[in-house]
Structure 1
């Protein structure tokens, strides 16, 4: 694969109960999906050329982890809390990352990761 030929990334999250998951992801993203291309599939554009797709796929539900890079993991946790989306504690790997994880109704993990590798230490 040539990097200069890539123009987008879509992460597919398999779920068992589409309606329950749709409701959860609407809370997580704070809005309705950007695209519903067909029954059982919903897509959100989270940044330019990066999408999350929720898709009915009971056999594979709960087996996915999506990592979303954020500028401020604590702010993301606050946003999730305000939307009633539980997020785990912030875990810090000093000099590398801070991360927190939300788990959808099927057990798929959404990891919010803040790069702190350029932060200066005292």
Structure 2
């Protein structure tokens, strides 16, 4: 059945591998506008971005730069402005070719791609 989980999932973590943990943590603190919510062990920091959903920053040099994360937001332009106030450039806001989404994407210091996406609906 579509939309019905096989098991009762209560939490989802997106893991972003990095080679330079301290530089990446400082960058993500600026992106999220706050320090990590938890650091459960050395080389791991996490930010709860929605109830039951967190983004984890993990010291994993062999996998650094390979993650792609898309975050659905209400206002991409607003996220770009907030990031700019914190000293980060999220790039140009643009509409996808089919016109269904407005996006802005940025690479973190490790090269992982973080995309903010706002659903705007397809033109009639």
Common fold, TM-score beyond 0.5? yes
Equivalent residue for 2:104?
100
Equivalent residue for 1:64?
67
Q: How many residues end up aligned between the 2 structures? A: 120
1:8 Cα deviation from its structure 2 partner: 1.8
Q: List, as ranges, runs of 4+ consecutive aligned residues in structure 1 with deviation greater than 6 Å.
A: none
Equivalent residue for 2:44?
41
SS in 1 for 2:47: strand
Aligned runs of 1:1-122 on 2, under 5 Å? 2-3=4-5, 5-93=8-96, 94-117=98-121
What are structure 1's unaligned runs of at least 5 residues? none
Cα displacement string for residues 80-101 of structure 1 (whole angstroms, at most 9, x for unaligned residues): 1111111111120254100001
What are structure 2's unaligned runs of at least 5 residues? none
1:2 Cα deviation from its structure 2 partner: 4.9
Query: Which segment is superposed worse, 90-99 or 2-11?
Result: 2-11
Cα displacement string for residues 48-78 of structure 1 (whole angstroms, at most 9, x for unaligned residues): 1110000000011000011111000000000
SS in 2 for 1:88: coil
